[in-house]
Amino acid sequence: MPPRPPQPVLAAIDVGTNAVRLELARPDADGALETLHQERDAIRPGEGVFATGSMPEETAERLLSTLRRYSALCRRHKAHVRAVATSALREAKNSADIVRRVREESGLNLEVVSGKEEARLICLGVLHRKPPHTRSLLIDIGGGSTEIATAVGEKPDNLWSLALGSVRLTEVFDASRTVPPKQLRLMRSFVSDVLHKTLPPTVANVPRVALGSSGTISAVVSFAAAENSGNATVRQLTQTVDTLAQMPPERRRKRFDPRRADIIVSGAVILEAVAKYLGVESVSVVNRGLRDGILVDLLYKQDEHREDHSLADAALAMGKRFYFDEKHARQVARLSLGLFDNLAALHQLPLSVRPYLEVAALLHDVGHAVSYERHHKHTYYLIRHADLPGLADREREIVARVARYHRRSPPELAHSGMAGLNPVEARTVRKLATLLRVANSLDVSHHQPIKDFKATNGREGVALHLHTKHPVDLELWNADREVLNFRRVFGKRLTFHVHHTSSSR
């Protein structure tokens, strides 16, 4: 047999608040990830951000220098790269300028991810290959935020991101020195208030042991239970907070890495409070996190045949928040995906864009929550600025554009709404939006009269065979209006054939 071609190298870059990290890995024959190279640079990208609101120029230069080097390593390995930035750049007023400079100077597309997307990726990294029915609770304390997730197997069912981080809390309370009792009480009260405002009153089905995935948690738990460094009870965490608060800075620096020592009290306070709030008995350290999640996400995206319904679930949850017509949305999504699958040879789009069409179809009408008039434009805005874990910024932009073109102006290349797309993105939006327009027209009554259908691509054109129990005159009248645009985009005539009634067109 011919030798199996080598698997592509995957690269994860994590721009955190405390440090920047790179990991290069390659999938083995069993789908596990083999680490090829790791780097960590403690350049503290979040230094000063939470106090001033901006990343200082000196910090930006350190970051750019590091990312130029990482980019060169990725090019050397011809790696598929995803670079993400978390809370520090999420909150920096000059983040757009930093992202632009990173792209221009290193060639990397640095993605500033939402808190929920960060939590999803951490969850994926920690719980990869977890048995499918195992319940887990995950805590990750970063420099600027804390992510919490509950999951079944490796699939999260709840994701939360709190504006609590070890660097942020240290800057707010000047907690790098010895912390007096009164100041410690204020810190604990502040953290408790944030938890009560962000998390639900109770979190159901929480395991007794939480998994802690960050370096801060590892350091705190190791200190709390030296004889069993991988696990610490809540009581031990409380004792640790009191001990670390009273410890002079010079002693902390002997016990911990110097840069970790400055923020360790704040990290311990957050971990204690979260563990108590969630009602767990102890916290157990795992040595995986965000970088691992980025790599797993890249690995899954290489597999076009892998079914993952988490993105559709997130879209449905968003639709419900905007009181969408769920039956109509599901019907349009079903019809859209059927067209995509039946006409694969015609549109010649990769399977990787199929989820974009599904999400756009599910959410195409959410703009009604703002106003019916111009609701397609409101839909674009809502999706573009939505927190949809599983979509990168550019992917969300494509989904928003597809949904925006479900009505009114067709997605012509010269239309103002297509500005800013590269040629590949523009072709994708045009083709997906055209399929969505046809699907939407076939349920314009919102009564789901079409029970089943099949699209065939023949020499004479594309024929849609519609099976229905009810009249579809309104649907056919609207679908006829999409024939011209369909021919412009795909170069094929589109016809409709109704079965189970006497009409045929």
Q: How far is CA 64 from CA 51, 54, 57, 94, in A?
A: 22, 16, 10, 14
Contact 311, 391 (CB under 8 A): yes
Give me the domains of the chain, ranges plus CATH numbers. Answer: 10-113 (3.30.420.40), 116-292 (3.30.420.150), 311-500 (1.10.3210.10)
* Phi and psi torsions of 55, nearest 5°: -85, 120
247: which DSSP letter? Answer: S
Among residues 25, 61, 22, which one has the least CA distance to residue 43?
Answer: 61
pLDDT of residue 305: 64
pLDDT of residue 304: 64
Number of H helices, E strands in the chain: 22, 14
Q: From start to end of 265-408, where are the E strands?
A: 282-285
pLDDT of residue 309: 75
In the chain, which stretches have pLDDT less than 70? 1-5, 227-228, 304-308, 501-505
Q: Give ∠ CA 329-333-334 in degrees, rounded to 5.
A: 115
Pairing of strands 282-285, 209-212: parallel
* Residues composing the chain: 505
Using alpha carbons only, how large is the chain's radius of gyration in Å? 26
pLDDT of residue 4: 57
Q: What is the largest CA-CA distance in the chain?
A: 88
Round to whole Å and give the CA distance between 306 and 293: 17
State whether the Cα torsion 61-65-70-71 is positive or negative: positive
351-396 tens-digit pLDDT: 889 999 999 999 999 999 999 999 999 999 999 999 888 888 899 9
> Which string of DSSP letters, residue by residue, matches 161-176?
EES--HHHHHHHHTTT
Round to whole Å and give the CA distance between 449 and 474: 10
pLDDT of residue 3: 55
SS3 147: strand
Round to whole Å and give the CA distance between 314 and 231: 33
Round to whole Å and give the CA distance between 218 and 225: 11
368: which DSSP letter? Answer: G
Sheet with 461-468: strands ordered across: 450-458, 461-468, 494-499
- The DSSP bridge partners found for residue 199 are none
Burial of 21 (0-12, 13-18, 19+ CB in 10 A): buried
208: number of Cβ within 10 Å:
9
